[in-house]
Amino acid sequence: MKKTYTGSCHCGAVRYEADIDLATGTGRCNCSICRKNRHWGAMLQPGDFRLLAGSADLGDYQFGNKTSHHEFCRRCGVHTFLRGDLPSGSSYVSVQLATLDDASDAELAGAPVQYCNGRENKWEEAPGETRNL
């Protein structure tokens, strides 16, 4: 069942609301940016995400095929979410679960995790090693 969570960067300049059903799963990836940012995300439909504050404080980083916008707070550097388009053409938002302000430890610990092999561009497969993600 979806629940509305609030989230923010470390300094509080960027704040958002997101309707997330953690029971449907979360994701970790071994691509270069997800590994460096330790991204653990919940993928949402764009309508389930609302930026409440901080649009002027957001930086945007893109690389590779530039289909994803890795947004971060320019004040404190925290990556709060990313936006992008799937090969199917549908848009998504992936919220960095570590930036949720009101998710309990139990809720996060109970969320299933799916691993993606982004390093080899095999998004539907889990990488051989996931303990480091």
Q: The CATH number of the domain where 61 resides is what?
A: 2.170.150.70
Give a yes or no: residue 13 inside a domain: yes
63 Cβ contact partners less than 8 Å away, ≥ 6 residues apart: 32, 33
Give a yes or no: residue 68 inside a domain: yes
Give a yes or no: residue 77 inside a domain: yes
- Percentage, residues of the chain above pLDDT 90: 71
Q: What is the pTM of this model?
A: 0.90
Whether the predicted pLDDT of 127 surpasses 90? no
Which among 111, 55, 103 has a CA at the least distance from the CA of 83?
Answer: 55
* Tally of domains within the chain: 1
Residue range of the domain that includes 64 = 3-116
Stronger pLDDT, 83 or 64, i.e. the higher one = 83
Question: In whole angstroms, what is the distance from residue 128 CA to residue 116 CA?
Answer: 10
79 Cβ contact partners less than 8 Å away, ≥ 6 residues apart: 37, 39, 70, 71, 72, 96, 99
Give a yes or no: residue 58 inside a domain: yes
Give a yes or no: residue 132 inside a domain: no
Give a yes or no: residue 128 inside a domain: no
**Per residue in 96-122, pLDDT tens?**
999 999 999 999 999 999 998 889 888
